[in-house]
Structure 1
Amino acid sequence: MARKRPKGVLEITWAVAESAVRGRQEHVPVADDYPDTVVRRISFAAGGGLGWKLSAIESPRARSAPWKIVVVTGAPSWAEYWAPAIAALPEDREMVVVDRPGYAGSEPVEYVGDIGQQALALSPLLQAKPGQRILLVGQSYGAAIATLMASANPGKVAGLVLLSGYYGQPGPTAEWLLKVGARMLKIIPRDVRHAVLEVTNQAGQLEGMHAALRRLKVPVHVVHGDKDDFAPIELAEKLVAETRTRRPMRFERVTGANHFLNDGPAEDLLATLEGCIPRPLAFKLSWPRWPNRLWLAKPKARAAVAT
């Protein structure tokens, strides 16, 4: 049984501080909860020649799955909180969840505030195996980054999910946390400090996200909990209503859910994501039906009728 990872402001702040003191990059090491045949930590080189080494967790598969789910997490960015979802995946699905640049086990040590640069760094995640399709999921602050990734890599992404997306204006709980964090920037742990800086400076970059959304040709699914007090659901509804896209965006309201949909039952989260994957078309092979028996006649007979 996997241990419950810390929740709430005090628990998480303590976990981040404890991890820093002990030189540990995870609050609860994934390897302590799952064998590497179920959840495996990997590293990869950032895209764009940035020279960073990035960390992620994935679902190992002996055989390529038809769909790969790529998750770009929020702020703070801790992939380990998706480990239960990875462990619960069916065999015909793969998932990789990344620690974004500047968080947990990912370089650089410094804060990376440019969402376009982050999208470029994370682009190697969109490499698929032959015959495999990718569902790209942007969670919270990661929603804008995932949108830029999808737009910059046409043909590599089959669907985009904006999960509890953060769109520049905080809800009441997030607003309070940002105010407190801004006053304590010099003393709070690095990952929390980076989260405060990211969220505070995001709004001015969202026009690029909106432009990217308008260019996308793939299905876009906006999924939001109606009890979200970090990222208001009203902003998600406004995004869907006011953004002119090549195909209509699908909006899904999750009744009773808060901002952290990955903190609930893994089965519920996976069912939500599965609903964003199109069902395969059922083709029925049949012989063509001719309009009448005339076309079965010999050529001379058809000519006689025509005259």
Structure 2
Amino acid sequence: MTSPMSEDAISDGSGGPPPSKWVNLDGPVHYVDYGGPAEGPMLLLVHGLGGSAVNWAAIAPTLAETNRVMAIDLVGFGRTETLGRPTSVHENQRLLARFIDAVIGHPVILVGNSMGGLISILLTGDRPDLVAGLVLVDPAVPVGPTARPDPLVMLMFGVYAVPAVGRIVMSRRRTVLSAEAQAKAVLRLCTVDASRVPAHVLEQHLELARERDSYPNVDAELVVAARSLVLVLARRKRIEAIMKEISVPVLLLHGDRDRLVPIGAARAVAAANPTWRFEVAHDVGHVPQLEVPEWTLQHVTDWLATEGAVASLTARP
């Protein structure tokens, strides 16, 4: 296990990702350190279901110009193999807490997308001492009766709800589609226009997909994580209560054409939590940080200087 960081980490500036780093938390956990000013506020970027640290590659280098920035691969995703560890929402929430304690050593601003947003919300509720602020990018939140997800998404998660069926479907999909084709299909599902994703960021996604194609049990691990996500979201009142109790500054960003978490769900969350800042990306899907990185950077940077200024101070070493 590493000790809390004490030195400034600098990106290589080549346009590609910084070198991989690892910490032992009951097994290796992969993360990327984008560097930034040694005394800057720490932003910890947390990906969603089926995602990885590379989901932040379009905005992390720019954020690191004025902040310390790290992106983690949760267990079962990216380059963090399970090696017997569970991939559930709550287990990855515990992993995130251990990572902050072991690697960073002080409160952070969590920037979470999709499932990573939900995990960030849950961690803030359980361990407020670790979280100075929240940036939620299309977070996975309960969907009410007036906000229904895309029918294809409902079918997909219905398949995940039955693990044996989910594993068979995903295994057959893998035999038909190459790793690259699967990665591009996910981006098409998560965006309105996948061509907006910067070319160098797309290549990082494809490179990781090719690497993960040789990992064992990835289909079963994703199904377990997806089923866990569905079960956690089913406890709607509990999640709503946790969100109401959050006292740190929160920025909520959401694409109005998100097929996985409909904009109506985000609007309901924003209405129930009026102290949160809420911004809508028009004609954008589930991953604004990839599809409209400039828009995402603009709002995150402005929030850090205004409503999130207290969080920025608290998240410094």
**Which bin holds the TM-score, normalised by the shorter protein?**
0.5 to 0.7
For each residue in 1:216-256, what CA deviation from the matched residue of structure 2 results, as whole angstroms up to 9, or x when unmatched? 210222211001112111112222334xx6x7222221111
Other structure's SS at 1:276 match:
helix
Kindly provide the amino acid, as one letter, of the partner of residue 269 in structure 1: T
Task: Give TM-score scaled by structure 2 length.
Answer: 0.65
Q: Which residue of 1 aligns with 2:78?
A: 104
Q: 1:57 aligns with which of 19, 32, 47?
A: 32
For the 8 Å contact 2:115–2:139, the answer to whether it is kept is: yes
What secondary structure does 2:77 align onto?
Answer: coil
Is 1:268 aligned to residue 295 of structure 2? yes
Mapping 1:255-294, distance limit 5 Å: 255-279=282-306
Aligned with residue 169 of structure 2, among 184, 188, 201? 184
What is the Cα deviation at residue 125 of structure 1?
4.0
- 2:43 equivalent in structure 1: 69
**2:66 matched to which residue of 1?**
92
Q: What is the aligned partner in structure 1 of residue 23 from structure 2?
A: 44
1:83 maps to amino acid:
A
What is the Cα-based RMSD across aligned positions, in Å?
A: 3.2
In structure 2, C-alpha distance between the alignment counterparts of 1:201 and 1:238, rounded to whole Å: 23
1:102 CA displacement: 1.1
* Structure 1 pair 73–250 and aligned structure 2 pair: CA distance change class (3 A): same
CA contact (8 A) 1:135 1:157 kept: yes
Distance 1:278 1:192 in 2: 41
Q: What is aligned with 1:23?
A: none
**1:58 CA displacement:** 1.8
Equivalents in 2 of 1:143, 1:73: separation in Å?
8
- Structure 2 distance, partners of 1:150, 1:93, is 21
User: For residue 24 of structure 2, what is the amino acid of its counterpart?
Assistant: A
CA deviation string 1:249-277 (max 9, x = no partner): 22221111111212224333222222332
Bigger Rg over Cα: 1
Provide the aligned length of Structure 1 versus Structure 2: 241
- CA change 1:42–1:217 in 2 (3 A) is same
Residue 250 of structure 1 corresponds to which residue in structure 2?
A: 277
Q: Pick from 145, 148, 151: which aligns with 1:172? A: 151
2:61 and 2:228 map into 1 onto residues whose CA distance is 34
Q: Residue in 1 aligned with 2:201?
A: none
Residue identity opposite 1:232 in structure 2: P
Match of 2:263?
233
Query: Structure 1: which amino acid aligns with 2:41?
Result: W
The one-character-per-residue Cα deviations of 1:142-191 (angstroms, maximum 9, x if unpaired) are: 11111122223223322112211122554334234445772514444644
Q: Matched residues in 2 for 1:223 and 1:192: separation?
A: 30
Measured in 2, the distance between the counterparts of 1:252 and 1:185 equals: 35
Deviation for aligned residue 1:211 = 3.5
Structure with bigger RCO (C-alpha 8 Å, 6+ apart):
2
Asked whether 1:83 is paired with 2:57, we answer: yes
Structure 1 Cα separation of the partners of residues 51 and 292 of structure 2: 20
CA distance in 2, matches of 1:34, 1:251: 31
Alpha carbons of structure 1 residues 196 and 233: separation in structure 2 relative to 1, 3 Å:
farther
> Are the structure 2 counterparts of residues 156 and 200 from structure 1 closer, same or farther at C-alpha, using a change threshold of 3 Å?
closer
Task: Identify the match of residue 245 of structure 2 among 195, 215, 223.
Answer: 215
Q: Residues 159 and 277 of structure 1 are in contact (CA less than 8 Å); yes or no, is this contact kept in structure 2?
A: no
SS class of match (2:76): coil
Native 8 Å contact 1:225 1:253 kept in 2: yes
| Alpha-carbon distance in structure 2 between the residues aligned to 1:80 and 1:113 | 19
Percent of matched pairs sharing the same residue: 20
CA contact (8 A) 1:76 1:191 kept: no
- Contact 1:64–1:129 at 8 Å: present in 2 too? no
Q: Which runs of 5+ in 2 are unaligned?
A: 1-10, 144-148, 161-165, 175-212, 311-317
Question: Could you tell me whether the CA contact under 8 Å between 1:86 and 1:95 is conserved in 2?
Answer: yes
Taking the aligned partners of 2:227 and 2:263, their CA distance within structure 1 comes to 19
